[in-house]
Chains A and B, each alone.
Chain A
Amino acid sequence: MNPPLNLGTLLTDSITNTLDVSLPLFRPELCLAATIVLLLVCRMLPVLRHADSAVVALGGVGFGLWYAWCDLKSLPAGGDLLAGRQELFTGLLVYDSLTAYVRLVILGFLALYIVFTRVSGIPDREDGADFYALVLGASLGMCLMSAANHILMLFMAVEMASVPSYALAGLLKGRKASSEAALKYAVYGAGAAGIMLYGLSLMAGILGTCHLPSMAVELAKVAHVGSDGGGVMVLSLGGLMLAVGLAFKLSAVPFHFWCPDVFEGAAAEVGAFLSVASKAAAVALLLRVAFGLGVPAASLGVPAANGASAATLAALGDTRHFMVYVVALMAAVTCTLGNLAAYGQTNMKRLLAYSTVAHAGYLMMGVAAAIAMAGVTATGTRDAVTAVAFYLGTYVFMNLGAFAIVAVLRNSLRSEEISAYAGLVRTSPGIVVAMAAVLVSLIGLPPLAGFVSKFLVFSSLVEAIASGAERPLMLVLLVVGGLNTVISLFYYLRVLKVMTFDPPPADRALEPFPLVSVPGAVVTGLVLPVVGFGLFWSGLYAAAQLAGAFAS
């Protein structure tokens, strides 16, 4: 069937494909890349040396955001969803509604983040260009993670997102804790990456391809034909090793050890970046891998010439079953351990690090429900992915808000210990109210955004139970999720208790933090959506539904 190989036509084909199809849909990433170059060039040219790098970065991100927004807008809403799917760069990347949505979340977060760091002042003028170049570089990697369609690309993207993060963790150059955090992060990351690379090479070796949809087809063949036990065994091992790499990015238990140390050592601003953007990209990548390998490509619009059909969907049942178990167990453990370990923390950033771990667990529950329902009920799958996407959208504001408050309080209190916040309500009630909104949203109480997110995730678990997909496991997940929400009440509310009821320390000579100020405005701007999305969530939900469409 293949046309005769002709270098000339091959070249022209690939050039036209690159220029006409791939590059236009790659514009947001191109914007980021160009901005990085611009930042570095500014540094070298004497004329532009004094340009504010935050402004340059914000400009570049603004362009990227605009393109990402246009891309999301131009997706067919509710119509032919598969028409929007495009494989880019000869199948290395895939562009679909999930890519568009996650990219928008990451870039949107980035824009807010740049404004917030500019105000909180953690990269000083000297470091600004480096800091933003690193942040943009990592974000570029995260965008690629959300679009990876090829395991080589997957690995590249993960590394591209990770390496700048290591450097970011060590941003506070003078501080020992910061350097230590960077070192731990780098070594831990290298270990995880090594294991993941090993797993990937095992899988590629057995299946003979690196293209995710093609791998699914091969997997189906293996499952269908039933090879000798060795093949399946090796494949399972490879899959588990891949899971280790993803778990590292998600900071899922038991690969979360880096997380509290890095968060405590690095600046709060860096913590915010790692806990939000990195998490969003990792969840997107998890969805990519799970659906790439577990759901036959035919249903995702890859030409039927690949030999995929509805029959393979059934053939991949075991694969999905395996994945659901791994993801669900990890989710349950991550959630529980994250919440329990947050007890008794005295450092706010460390507490938030464990909170991040716990939230990764909730997110993975949604992913587990989505995979479980694939092949059972299409709308259920879609709802579950929608719930996860919605969760990501609100999580941006909750967590960025929490870290922003930590950062501005650090600037005025010179401390990040919870005990230092005692009695703050007497001098700065505004910031305490903001903190309360954020923390209560993280618990997931109405009427805040966190409630809606959690509600959607749990309701997709219920949907899975109702549709009979992996019923006992989903039931366990639901119970674990509910219990964890109760557990988490305690440590979040303890912070509020300290802020409101405890007497302020005698030696505090603190200017009351005014909410009417530039940092106050930033905090307010981040916290308002937490309330807003709790009350008016239909807009974000519609966008998340678009993202969910990728799975239907």
Chain B
Amino acid sequence: MDTAAQLPLLLGLAWLAPLASFVAILFFGPRMGPHGRNAAWVATAAIVASLVLSLFAAGAWLGAHPVQVSHHGSGDVAAADTHAGDHAVDHHPVADSVAYSGDWYTLYRGGALRLSIGWYIDALTVLMFVVVTFIATCIHVYASGYMHDELHDVTDHEVHLSGGGHLHRPGRFPRFFQALSLFCFSMLGIVIAGNLAMVFIFWELVGICSWFLIGFYYERKSASTAANKAFIVNRVGDFGMLIGLMALWGALGTLHFADSQAIDGDVARPGLFSLVRPAAGGHAIRVPDGMVKFAAAAEVAKTPPAEVAGKIEDWRSMGLGRWLLLIAGVGIFCGCVGKSAQFPLFVWLPDAMEGPTPVSALVHSATMVAAGVYLVGRFYPVLTPDVLLVIAYVGAITLFIAATIALVATDIKRVLAYSTVSQLGYMMLALGVGGWAAGLFHLVTHAFFKSLLFLCSGSVIHACHTNDMRKMGGLARVMPWTAGTMLVGCLAIIGAGVPFVIGLSGYYSKDAILAQALAFSRANPAHSILFVAVAGGAFLTAFYMFRLWFMTFAGEPRDHHVAEHAHESPAVMVAPLVVLAVLAVVAGWTLPGGFGLPNLLEQARPVGTAEGMTGGFAFGELVFPAEHLSHEGAVHVTATLTAFATAAAGVALAALMYLLRIISPAVVATIFKPAYTFLAGRWYFDELYHAMFVVPALAVANLASGTDRGVIDRIIDGLAWTARQLAGVDAWIDRTLVDGLVNATAAATWNAGIELKKLQTGHLRQYVMFIVVGTVALFVLASLLFRTSLAG
């Protein structure tokens, strides 16, 4: 079996294994051992199977496409410069970009539209499979320890019943793993999807899973509210995504990423990627014919059909259709804004921390929220320079706002949540400034260290039974493993390392982002603010992460009640921490020989993006420098030093305030009281949205219900009263006249039946007589009816 056949099989099975586990637990969950204890084993076995299959797939992939030392050599750059603009010359990793695609099952086919369940597999897909299944495996193991409370009846101390007591309910252990399995299935579905329709299906499925999991403790008002908030805010983004989907389908008639083969009667069709970046034009971005015709509908109607094809080029040069492509790109990005918690839709993610911590680690930091970034990366070939600029600015705003809020948050999981939002902003910004590989590289490394951080925080919460960092402190002594691994996580997220020598995984990915942002700023001086945001963000990240670590683990315990009960977590919870910590360190390393994530990602780089891009009409001319240039010379050195300096400054400031206590945080808060209040109030986004959307919506609702009650109900009541009076009359008629008639008819029918029965005497002699009588009757009848014809 060749790779093209192997990969869909392996990854398809890896994708379906969690579904099998979901179905099994759904139907047999409560019967799996006492209190469904074995559901954890079923779910874990399924995800381990997925992991193994994904690793096999990765092996198959690497066997067929060995990772090359990247083509960033200076010789290549020189060559690229000589041939600047000459896209037809294929001397870049463009040719290496391999993807397999196909359809498993066609749901619906009508006209040009084909809705199918299919695959699009390239190095990115394989990498995401390995990352998602690996982290999910760790978290399944961790959760089987963390969720043990659910194995027996639970008294939920956060739910206060009206009687004054607390809610007492049966445990929901299998239910948790059921939702987790469904989530894994949905997430892998997004990753493997071969077309946007399938992405959308699984996009919504992860949304539902997220709703289940955030609302796992649904008796708590805060949890059910948070679940609803997450779901509703995501719908806002998905509305934009639907617009994008409609724009693409309406104008292009396909949602497939890659060209589809001709199968059972359907012709081969070009996919989105080759429509927007046709091979004939050297994979340069171009408004597809379909969109041009769509935009020039008025012209097309005037032109004879035969001449339309010839005029498309003219219309294209007039700029027709480019807005449609922009709308499609921004629309799809809207979905990503919702899912990846970008400004202005990031408000749901911190609240989502109401879910159990393993969920926060898997769904709301490492995988689901990264799906938006992944989709931007996957959809990259279709995004025009203008869309990319929008993405970059949204990312920059998000990273700044979230980082500032994280500075003052006191809930350990909320700090991490805002940190997640901020890091997602980093990724979006990287993608938006042309750093395709940098953004996705950061996505992978972030998945490792952020899930590590969350699991560590879970371990802390498990030990302290509180989320409030102000009650912690000095925990390093009682829980050394957790403290150590969390320190690794913090170092990784701030991008610690020895400049130019070696560093933790975050060091490499954050450097790549900084370098690309710097290169972009230099090429487009008008947008240098983007680099400032990245560098400032790096400082803030370092500060708030170490603030968190110092407050939690260093110094003396602040609350002795908490400290006395603290203990190290069981081995089943610590083991995943260690595994993830190791990966948080090494994930960014490139082995001698060139094997490493950046080079693996280069294999999947969308065709036509390696050379950089120029263009844009809505926000002026934009230049996207080629990504490999940012790894060279001056840009790289400046970026690395900036990253190191800002991170070091952030750590130093945190140490001064929280470790050495030289600067008192309280004093700082008093000095900058307005700013502090503003940040502690989380920029008042929730209040703003409440005033802007919730209050007007409620007002309209009240108005409507008032109208309903005051006007419509009155009318209806009046009508009903009239109808009742009429019905009284009618009932009398019905009872006496109609029923009488019906009963009379029924009686008549019955009597007819009984009479007919009497005909059946049972006497054979009479029967034979009846034959003769019948025949004669038939004759008579016929001669009456056909008198004329019988007479000739």
Contact = CB atoms under 8 A, between A and B. Distances in A.
Given A227-B792, A325-B782, A343-B750, 5 more contacts: A229-B792, A232-B792, A233-B792, A257-B767, A341-B757
Interface string A221-259: 000001111001100110011011000000000110110
B744 to A, nearest CB: 15
Interface string A307-339: 000000000001000100110010000000100
B262 interface: no
A38 B770 CA distance: 41
A261 interface: yes
Interface string B768-792: 1011011101110110011001111
Given A226-B792, A233-B790, A341 B753 contact: yes
B756 interface: yes
Contact of B791 (A183, A229, A260, A261): A229
A255 B779 contact: no
25 contacts: A183-B764, A184-B764, A184-B767, A195-B775, A232-B789, A232-B790, A233-B792, A236-B782, A236-B786, A240-B782, A241-B775, A243-B778, A254-B770, A257-B770, A260-B760, A318-B789, A325-B785, A340-B752, A341-B756, A341-B760, A343-B753, A343-B754, A344-B750, A344-B753, A344-B754
Given A188-B767, A326-B782, A487-B749, A240 B760 contact: no
A241 B779 CA distance: 9
A192 B777 CA distance: 15
A258 B782 contact: no
B620 interface: no
A12 B752 CA distance: 63
B762 interface: yes
Nearest to A257: B767
A479 B759 CA distance: 26
Contact of A322 (B756, B757, B786): B786
A442 interface: no
B749 A340 contact: yes
Nearest to A188: B767
A192 B754 contact: no
B768 A188 contact: yes
Nearest to B791: A229
Contacts of A227: 792
Interface string A173-202: 000000000011001100110010000000
Nearest to B763: A184
B272 to A, nearest CB: 36
A345 B758 CA distance: 11
Given A340-B752, A341-B757, A322 B792 contact: no
Interface of A: 183-184, 187-188, 191-192, 195, 226-229, 232-233, 236-237, 240-241, 243-244, 254-255, 257-258, 260-261, 318, 322, 325-326, 329, 337, 340-345, 487
A258 B753 contact: no
B751 to A, nearest CB: 9
A229 B779 CA distance: 16
Contacts of B773: 254
A240 B750 contact: no
Interface string B713-756: 00000000000000000000000000000000000011011101
Nearest to B753: A343
A261 to B, nearest CB: 6
Contacts of B786: 236, 322, 325
Contacts of B792: 226-229, 232-233
B775 A322 contact: no
A329 B781 contact: yes
B786 to A, nearest CB: 6
Nearest to B746: A490
A192 B771 contact: yes
Nearest to A236: B790
A263 to B, nearest CB: 12
Contacts of A240: 775, 778-779, 782
Contacts of A237: 779
B778 to A, nearest CB: 5
Given A244-B774, A261-B762, A322-B789, A344 B757 contact: yes
Interface residues of B, number: 29
A325 B757 CA distance: 27
B670 to A, nearest CB: 75
Nearest to A243: B778
A124 to B, nearest CB: 28
A257 B759 CA distance: 9
Contacts of B752: 340, 343
B771 A195 contact: yes
Contacts of B759: 341
A267 B180 CA distance: 61
Contacts of B749: 340, 343, 487
A227 B789 CA distance: 11
A363 to B, nearest CB: 19
A244 B778 CA distance: 9
B745 to A, nearest CB: 11
Closest 5 CB pairs of A and B: A343-B753, A229-B792, A254-B774, A341-B756, A340-B753
A394 to B, nearest CB: 26
A385 B760 CA distance: 33
A233 B791 CA distance: 7
Contacts of B790: 229, 232-233, 236
A334 B389 CA distance: 82
A340 B755 CA distance: 9
Nearest to A230: B792
A228 B786 CA distance: 16
A261 B778 contact: no
Nearest to A229: B792
Contacts of A322: 782, 786, 789
Contacts of B774: 244, 254-255
A260 B757 CA distance: 10
B779 A258 contact: no
Contacts of B753: 340-344
Interface in B355-403: none
B778 A257 contact: no
B768 A187 contact: yes
A229 B788 CA distance: 10
B665 to A, nearest CB: 70
Contacts of B778: 240, 243-244, 326
A258 B786 CA distance: 30
A209 to B, nearest CB: 22
A255 B775 CA distance: 9
B134 to A, nearest CB: 45
A340 B770 contact: no
Nearest to A231: B792
Contacts of A184: 764, 767
A322 B781 CA distance: 12
B760 A254 contact: no
B247 to A, nearest CB: 38
Contact of B760 (A229, A261, A340): A261
| Residue of B757, B771, B774, B792 most packed against chain A (CB within 10 A) | B771
A183 B779 CA distance: 28
Contacts of A261: 760, 762
A226 B792 CA distance: 7
A237 B778 CA distance: 10
A250 B754 CA distance: 23
Contact of A188 (B771, B775, B781): B771
A340 B774 CA distance: 19
A236 to B, nearest CB: 6
A259 B662 CA distance: 110
Nearest to B788: A318
Contacts of A236: 782, 786, 789-790
Contacts of A487: 749
Contact of A191 (B768, B777, B791): B768
A191 B772 CA distance: 9
A258 B775 contact: no
Nearest to A491: B753
Contact of A187 (B757, B760, B764): B764
